[in-house]
Every structure is written in structure tokens, then in C-alpha cells.
Structure 1
Amino acid sequence: MNQIKSIFLKIFITYLVILILSHIVLAIASYVLFHNNLTELHINPEGFNQMKYLFILASIFSITCTGLFTYYLTKRITAPLREMNQAALRIAKGHFDQRVQIKTRDELGELGETFNFMAQELSNLEQMRKDFIANVSHDLRSPLTSIHGYVSAFLDNTIPDDRKNDYFIIMKEQTERLNKLVNDLLDMAQMESGQFQIRPVTFNLSELIRQVVARMEPEFVNKKINVDLLFEEAEDINVFADPDRIDQVMVNLIQNALQFSPYDSSIKVLLKKEEQAVISIRDFGPGIKQEDIQSIWDRFYKADKSRSKKVGIGLGLSIVKHILDLHQTDIQVESEVGRGTTFTFKLSIANKQT
């Protein structure tokens, strides 16, 4: 039975074996009962032999008819499996629009629903992959084109001396943009391989936030964004976490707020001490629809497709979520369309003895 590769043949043969065994048992039981009671039943040996032949003919007819019905029933039961097998082969070749028809509500029906769900998820993943390639290609080509153009201009001596410093600054910004993109891709690869780790230590969270905001000041100036640091505690707050990864979280969240903030607006960064250190980053941008909030953590996801022209390929928030998950803390999102978004997360306060 283990060498038979078709589940249809396995079920069909199983039914036939059960059917034949049942007839054999019935025949043996009938022989024993009739043979021991021939006198009482007024049946002579010749009549008993005739009954045996009739029983054999009836058994053959019964097995044949039941076997044909079993063949039809088995074929009907396994039809969804064959359909799923064919659909799976087409999906494997890249045809992600394949679906199976669900005609029952039993285990096979549930399997069919799961199969269709899998096919839909694969289709979404394929679309995300295409969007990812398009976005990465755009994000790589744009700064590379700019850098190539500026370098060519320098080599041709077509840039005035009083403008060279401005162009160097632009080239530096473009290389930083490329560096962030490559780092995000490397982080994503580490997350998928399970090599993305944290090394928690005690550090000054208040000072880290001030340093992040100071580093990003040129970006705020370019967009005329005012950043308000709101520290409710007079003293600095020390936490137990990975400072490099928390720095990455803060940069990603503030850049996300900066990206969707209108010109001449503000961003608020709040730090307060409760049972844990609470950090909030609020912008006054377009906000996020409630139905999109759960999806913003997905890789490459962009709630508003029109935002695809903006910097970024949809990895920042996914990396943020993964880092905070490793710290065993959650991140909350409060957003209202047209009024902005607030991201809030917590970190463990460091013990004074640590």
C-alpha cells in the first residue's frame, strides 16, 4: 500500500478489500450456521450445495456493483485533491490567479479554502515583490543618476567654484540615502535568516534621543520642520535595551514622521517615565486610515499607493516592529486622517544596580 502513489487507488483498494473481507466473513458464518443446522432447517446436502452456488453468484454480483459504485464515489471524493494538484502545479509556474472550487463543507472543503487563501497570499506576495523591485530600482537609480551627473559635471569643470560645496552636500545626501537603503535590505535579510539580534545594555535614552534629533537637523531645516522635544522628567532616563537598535527605531520613526509632514509644520517627540519609559513620536501629516493600520508593519507595504514616489520602499516600519518585538515590547499607533499619526512604544527602566 505504501508503494501506491495515488490516493484514489489507495481508497479504492481499501474499499474493495473491506468489501471482499466482509463477504468472506459472511460466507464462513453462513456455512457454519447452515452446516450445523441442516436437519433442523430441513435442508439436504444437495440443496445446501445449491445455496452455496447461489450465494457465490450473489456475492460476485454484489462485489461488482458495489465495486463500481465505490470507484465512482472514490473518484468523486478525490476530485478536489486532483484539482488542487493541478492548480498547485500551475501556481508553481507563476500563475497565481489559480483557485479551486469549493463544493463541500467537510475537511476537503476546509483544505480547499486553505489552498485558496494560500494562493491569494502568494499572489499578494508576488505583487509585493514586483512593487519591491520597482521601488528599489527607482530608489537606486535616482541617487546614482544624480551622483553620476554631478561627478561628470565636476570632471567637465562646468560647475562654478562658488557652487561646488552645494553640489558636494547634495552628493553626500544621495550617498546617505543609498547607504540607508542598503542597510535596510541587509537588516531584512538578517530578519529572514533569524540572525537579527539585539545586545541590551544600560544607556541614557534621553541623550540618545537628543543625539538622533541633532543628527537629523539638516533634514528638518530643508523641509522647515520644527521638532519639539518634550521631556517630562527633569533627570535623564536610563533604560535597558540595545542602544544601536533603539537608535535605528528612533531614526526610522522620525524619518517616517518627517516624510509625511507638510512643510512648515512640526513633529513632537515625547519622553516620559511611568513603570517603563514611554516614547511617542507625533506628526501632523495626512494620517493613516484605520483599515490600513494593521498592515503598515508588513514589508514593502504602502497604505497610499500615491506615496510610492516618496523616499523609501516600505521596510522602515517593518524593521521597527521586529526590533521592538525582540525587546519584548509593543508599538501602538493612533492616527486620524487629516490630523496626523502618533507612534508610541515602551522600554524597560534600567535598575540602578545595573
Structure 2
Amino acid sequence: MRINTLFARLFLTCLAALVFSHVVLAVTFAALFQHSQASLHLNAAALNQMKQLFSIASCLSLVPTSIMLLFLSHRITAPLREMQRVACQIAQGEFAQRVKIKRHDEVGTLGEAFNAMAAALADLDQMRKDFVANVSHDLRSPLTSIHGFVRAFLDDAIPDDRKCHALQVMEEQTTRMIKLVNDLLDLTRIEAGQLEIHPVAFNLSELVRQVVARMEPEWAKKQVIVEILTEEAYDIYAMADRDRIDQVLVNLIHNALQFSPPACSVAVCLRKEAQAMIAVQDEGPGIKPEDRERIWERFYKVDQARTKQTGTGIGLSIVKHLLDLHHSPISVASEVGKGSTFTFTLPLAPNPSLLLEAERPER
């Protein structure tokens, strides 16, 4: 018969150890008495009587000892049964449940770890709910806008001088949806381990200029100035996946624009040291110290009250994952009320002079 509970195994193990110790004690006692019988001047009848009394005492001692073992086994395994109960409730979606353990041993440590896991699951579940709500809003808003303009076009309700503006709005909303869908696909591929990078040598300075120029309609509409700051006399060449670094820059600049008030500036700084250093600096509200470690988590948003301005909370998570694939660290320096600076590094490309020569147009 198989024993399927820890309580029964613990109790039977302790009981077997107790019985075995009694048997060893009885055998040892009998052997010593047999060896010392002559010096103790005991006859055979007295020796047998002592053996019987010892056996009776051993059997009687097993009863209270077994009761004590039963109580201790139940007490030791009680936290584990509590964990099992709470785990079943968490599996049903009740993430507020916690294990109540007032112990400081290994079982107590296990209970604390279990509660920490439950708290992390509760936070993740809340972020998932917020994420679904935000994504639903971010998809519904542009779809509603596009649907309204399409209906207006079909009804010929838009004046000719406003049709160009309506098409521009539809194009902006379509671009917004495409970016959201692409971010979701990238996040899914990253978490599934299906996203690969292909490092090549490329002109990092030129890539930054292209990204800033490509995003000009966005920052011009926000009335924010984006400038490139560098003290290098020549372009910087890096070794990385050009398309993924393009995605990193777009997400960082987009994040800076989201939090920058009008009439402010966003700076993209380039510096060449042992590695190529890129920093994106904004003049936004800054990030609180307790939020800085969590901004890289998927679905996490610093300001929950500003849902429409802060997006879905996956941009920085994608940035962190992409740079991790490059083995490139990224850090954030921020002061509340004075803005934030995101800085990351990339390895320099070997033989940049050859690349520069190859980029020069033929005469």
C-alpha cells in the first residue's frame, strides 16, 4: 500500500524509528544483563522477571510517545496543508489569499516565499487586466475614428477642403494601431524565445539622424524639439542588429515624447568611449525611485492615472529585452520634476575607416 500524504509518512517514519530504538535497547539490555548475571548474583527467575518488566515498560512507553509523534507530525505538516489550500484558491483566481505561518524555520521561509510568489502573481494579474483594458482602448479609439471618417466619406459628408485632413487623421490612427500590434507580436516572440538578432557593423550616428527625422511629424505635433547632441568629429560605427536598435531608439524617443510637456526638448546624445554610448534625455515629470526598477516589467506603467498618455506599458519592456539580447546594459537616471535620461551602450564596429570608405560615393 502506497502512502500518499506527508503527514502519514512522517508519523510512520518517526514511529518506525521509535520501535527500532526500543528493539535495539532491549537487545542491548539483555546482552549486558546476560554478561553481568554472575556479578549481580541474579538467578534465572529474577532475570526473566526483569526482562518481562522491561518489555512491558517499553510497550507502555510506545503509547504516549506515539500520541506525541502524532501531534508533532500534524503540527509540522499543518503549514504545508495551508499552502495547499491557498494554492488551490490562487489557481481559481483568488490572488489575494496568503499563507498564515508564524514560524521562523525552513517551513516558515517556504511560506514567506510562497506569499511573495502570490503577491507577484497578484501584481501580474492586475497589470494584465490593466493591459487588456489599455489595449482595448488603444485599439477601439483609432478604429472608432477610422470608422467614423469612412462612414462620413461614404455619406459624402466631408467637404472637399477637409478630406485631406480626414485622410491624414486616418493614416495617423492606422500607424498607431500598426505600432501597437507590432509591439504585441514582438513581446510574444521575445517571451517565446523566438526573436533572434543579427549583428552587423553600421553607422550609428546616421541611424539616429534617420530615426529623429522619421519621427519629426510626431514631435512637431507635440510641439517638442528633438535634437541630436554629440561632440564627435566623425560618425560613430557600432556592431549590433541595426533594425532592432532602430526599434530601441524609436521606443525610447517615443517614451520621452509621451512624458514631455509642450515647448520642451528631448535630446539624443551620442558619445564614443570604450563603447558607443547613446542617451535619450527628456524634461518630463521624472520617475520615482521606487518605480525605477519596475519600469522594465511588461504591462507596468509609472502613472496609473494617466492611462491615455502612458500607453500600454510594453515599450520599455521590449527595449530591455532587445538590449539584453545584445548583452548591452541600459540604465535610467531620473529626478522627480526634472526629467529622465535613459542610457545604453553598444560595442564599436571594428575597422570603422573601411566602412566609412565604403559609404563614400564614387566620383
Query: So what's the TM-score if we normalise by structure 1?
Result: 0.97
Give runs of aligned pairs for residues 310-325 of structure 1, distance below 5 A.
310=309, 312-325=311-324
User: Aligned-pair distance for 1:108?
Assistant: 0.5
The residue aligned with 2:108 is: 109
Provide the C-alpha distance between the structure 2 equivalents of 1:280 and 1:328, rounded to a whole number of angstroms.
17
The residue aligned with 2:359 is: none
Q: Is the partner of 2:42 in helix, strand or coil?
A: coil
The residue aligned with 1:9 is: 8
User: Aligned-pair distance for 1:308?
Assistant: 1.1
Instruction: Please say if residues 324 and 330 of structure 1, whose CA atoms lie closer than 8 Å, have aligned partners that are also in contact.
Output: yes
The residue aligned with 1:242 is: 241
The residue aligned with 1:202 is: 201
Deviations 1:109-145 (A, max 9, x none): 1001101111111111111111111111111111111
Deviations 1:289-311 (A, max 9, x none): 12211111111111111221215
Instruction: Please say if residues 231 and 272 of structure 1, whose CA atoms lie closer than 8 Å, have aligned partners that are also in contact.
Output: yes
Provide the C-alpha distance between the structure 1 equivalents of 2:343 and 2:350, rounded to a whole number of angstroms.
22
- What is the one-letter code of the residue matched to 2:209? R
Instruction: Please say if residues 86 and 98 of structure 2, whose CA atoms lie closer than 8 Å, have aligned partners that are also in contact.
Output: yes
Give runs of aligned pairs for residues 1-40 of structure 1, distance below 5 A.
3-40=2-39
Unaligned 5+ segments in structure 1 are: none
Instruction: Please say if residues 257 and 283 of structure 1, whose CA atoms lie closer than 8 Å, have aligned partners that are also in contact.
Output: yes
The answer to whether residue 124 in structure 2 is matched with residue 125 in structure 1 is: yes
Provide the C-alpha distance between the structure 1 equivalents of 2:235 and 2:39, rounded to a whole number of angstroms.
106
- What is the one-letter code of the residue matched to 1:47? A
Q: Is the partner of 1:219 in helix, strand or coil?
A: helix
The answer to whether residue 44 in structure 2 is matched with residue 45 in structure 1 is: yes
Provide the C-alpha distance between the structure 2 equivalents of 1:129 and 1:84, rounded to a whole number of angstroms.
25
Deviations 1:127-178 (A, max 9, x none): 1111111111111111111111111111111011111111111111111111
Instruction: Please say if residues 206 and 238 of structure 1, whose CA atoms lie closer than 8 Å, have aligned partners that are also in contact.
Output: yes
User: Aligned-pair distance for 1:213?
Assistant: 0.9
Deviating beyond 2 angstroms after TM superposition, the runs of 4 or more aligned structure 1 residues are: 35-40
Unaligned 5+ segments in structure 2 are: 356-363
The residue aligned with 2:61 is: 62
User: Aligned-pair distance for 1:52?
Assistant: 2.0
Length, aligned pairs only: 353
Provide the C-alpha distance between the structure 1 equivalents of 2:32 and 2:236, rounded to a whole number of angstroms.
92
The residue aligned with 1:262 is: 261
Instruction: Please say if residues 287 and 336 of structure 1, whose CA atoms lie closer than 8 Å, have aligned partners that are also in contact.
Output: yes
Provide the C-alpha distance between the structure 2 equivalents of 1:233 and 1:29, rounded to a whole number of angstroms.
89
Provide the C-alpha distance between the structure 2 equivalents of 1:26 and 1:291, rounded to a whole number of angstroms.
62
Q: Alpha carbon RMSD of aligned pairs, Å?
A: 1.3
Instruction: Please say if residues 286 and 338 of structure 1, whose CA atoms lie closer than 8 Å, have aligned partners that are also in contact.
Output: yes
Deviations 1:26-72 (A, max 9, x none): 11112222233333222222222222221121011111111111111
- What is the one-letter code of the residue matched to 2:274? E
Instruction: Please say if residues 139 and 311 of structure 1, whose CA atoms lie closer than 8 Å, have aligned partners that are also in contact.
Output: no
Q: Is the partner of 1:279 in helix, strand or coil?
A: strand
Q: Percent identical across equivalent pairs?
A: 58
The answer to whether residue 252 in structure 2 is matched with residue 253 in structure 1 is: yes
The residue aligned with 1:137 is: 136
The answer to whether residue 181 in structure 2 is matched with residue 178 in structure 1 is: no
The answer to whether residue 283 in structure 2 is matched with residue 284 in structure 1 is: yes
Instruction: Please say if residues 205 and 238 of structure 1, whose CA atoms lie closer than 8 Å, have aligned partners that are also in contact.
Output: yes
Provide the C-alpha distance between the structure 2 equivalents of 1:265 and 1:35, rounded to a whole number of angstroms.
100
